[in-house]
Amino acid sequence: MRERIIELFRSHFGSDPEAVLELAGDGSSRRYHRIRGPDGVTAIGGTGPDREENRAFLSYSASLRGVGLPVPEIYAADEDAGVWIEEDLGDTTLYSAIEEARSSGSAEGFPVAVIPAYERVLDWLPRFQLEGHEAVDYSVAYPRAAFDRQSIQWDLNYFKYHFLKLAHIAFNEQRLERDFEMLTRFLLQSDADHFLYRDFQSRNVMLREGEPWFIDYQGGRRGALPYDVASLLYDAKADLPDGLRQRLLEHYLDALTEYRAVDREKFEIEYRGYVVVRILQALGAYGYRGFFERKPRFLRSVPYAARNLAGIVNRGLPAELPELESVFGRIADRYASELVAGESGPGLTVYLYSFSYRRGYPEDVSGHGGGYVFDCRALPNPGRLEEYKTLTGLDPGVRSFLESREETSAFWDHVRSLVSSQIDTYLGRDFSALTVSFGCTGGQHRSVYFAERLAAHLADTVPKVRVQLHHREEPYWP
């Protein structure tokens, strides 16, 4: 592929490149290289294994650019080989501009200097949705020509199977499916005869000389207007404050009214539903990349999405969705507090788990790959006694049973000594994460007791350490 990229560059520019540098990936299967030629000429070489996805990207690029929208020019392509070269838009994304402004600024909150860039992005969005709709060829859409019932169901199942199940969030499947159907019907009421960019978020907007350019629209299809603005304004790690979200939504609607009449009240009601489905799709992606593909950097966006879900619940869901509301609460309870731990500055987070050996070891969500797993199965098992079978390690009776045994005291002394020593070392070396897991037969009694006891001990003795406690088998307790 690298040689074919060089051939395309040579054919288009008439000279050999002086350097071909691979660029950092974004989690997809596509790969990109920056090609440097003589006299400062540069281009981006792209390769992708999926011919249909490549065809959509190349076709959309020509169509969107043909109506004057700021997307990269495709200089040359070999569709059979899955290779193309395109205009180099630089290295600054809207997201990297936010991060740079946050790291260099002293003021708290969202960096004001980036807001005009958001406004310019939203000025362009109606043109993509309306002029782009007239220009693109939906017969090449990938993987589906419309954000219809099938697409919505894919996204909802993506969330269920790749986030809820892999993160072990409790839910009732029948009630959840009922809510999925209700949400789907709500979304399908919207006018869907527009171009839906699909992945309209801050990492897919390049800033060149301060002006926005747009990439990664190959998933575009027919769809409703609120979807893309919801994608941008609820982009997890961009972390826009609610007040700014509303201000930017109004800016977008003002821009949209230059092209067509808008019922703002109706739009904002529909928008609330698309905010929900977009966050669920994003959580599915984070879970797939983070839990399944074991790329922990994707899980760093989960606390932001969790906080967004908490805000949505507080403002009210767009329809009667009781099981989803309960699930959102569980996600927020589990993850939203990690914002303080993970992103607000240096420090150590201790991830504590209880689990059942029947279902294997817990996933390492921190990405550091170390820590302790303590096997509690050699200790007396309260679950063998009828009076404790339906209880857990959270119940006073189970705690009293375990604490009356000498084996428990000895086990605790070893655990406390090992973990305390490790924490002292990690704090001294500015490490950011330590995982400690306790396993037993059912993940209900002994493991829960020790995870709770260690969490309380750390809160009392090492207050500067942040603790994230998770009883993995909670959905399976009687």
2-86 and 94-339 have identical folds: no
Residue-level pLDDT at 32:
94
Enumerate residues 6+ apart whose C-beta is below 8 A from 99. none
Q: pLDDT tens across 22-46, in order? A: 887 666 788 999 999 998 999 999 9
- pLDDT, residue 28, reads 73
Domain ranges in the chain are 2-86, 94-339, 346-476
**pLDDT digit string, tens, across residues 424-462:** 888 878 787 899 999 999 999 999 999 999 999 998 888
Q: Model confidence over 391-428: pLDDT tens digits?
A: 999 999 999 999 999 999 999 999 999 999 999 888 87
Closest listed residue to residue 453, CA positions, set 423, 422, 409, 421:
409
At residue 296, the pLDDT reads 73
**Mean pLDDT, the chain, integer:** 91
Contacts of 426 (CB under 8 A, 6+ apart): 348, 434
Residue 395, CA atoms < 13 Å, CB-side half-sphere: 14
- Could you tell me the pLDDT band of residue 346, with boundaries at 50, 70 and 90? very low
Assess contact for 452 and 421: CB atoms under 8 A: no
- Residue 77 — φ and ψ, nearest 5°? -150, 150
- Percent of the chain having pLDDT more than 70? 94
- pLDDT for 112 equals 92
What CATH number should be reported for the domain whose range is 2-86? 3.30.200.20
In this predicted structure, what is the pLDDT of residue 342?
A: 40
If you average pLDDT over residues 102-107, what whole number do you get?
Answer: 68
221: closest CA among 131, 132, 126? 132
pLDDT at 293: 84
Q: How far apart are CA 386 and CA 450, in angstroms?
A: 21
Over range 366-377, report the average pLDDT. Answer: 82
Quick check: 270 pLDDT over 70? yes
- Measured CA to CA, the distance from residue 456 to residue 204 in angstroms comes to 43
Average pLDDT over residues 217-226: 98
Total Cβ atoms within 10 A of residue 40: 6
- Surface-to-core class of residue 18, CB atoms within 10 Å of its CB (0-12 exposed, 13-18 middle, 19+ buried): exposed
Among the listed ranges 277-281, 364-368, 470-474, which one has the minimum average pLDDT value? 364-368
- Cβ contacts of 12 within 8 Å, gap of 6 or more: 43, 75, 76, 85
Q: What is the pLDDT of residues 376-394, one digit of tens each?
A: 999 999 999 999 999 999 9
**CATH 3.40.50.410 corresponds to the domain 94-339:** no
pLDDT at position 369 = 62
Flag whether pLDDT at 477 surpasses 60: no
d(CA 324, CA 160): 11
pLDDT at 343: 46
Mean pLDDT over residues 195-220, rounded? 97
| 3-18 pLDDT per residue, tens | 899 999 999 999 999 9
- Report, as an integer, the average pLDDT of 156-165: 96
- Rounded to whole angstroms, the Cα distance separating 478 from 458 reads 29
443: its two tokens: 């993940």
Task: Output the pTM of the full model.
Answer: 0.75
What is the C-alpha to C-alpha distance for residues 240 and 237, in angstroms, rounded to an integer? 8
Residue 474 is predicted with a pLDDT of: 67
Instruction: Give the separation between CA 117 and CA 248, rounded to whole angstroms.
Output: 11
Which residues sit opposite 31 in a β-bridge? 47
pLDDT higher than 90, residue 370: no
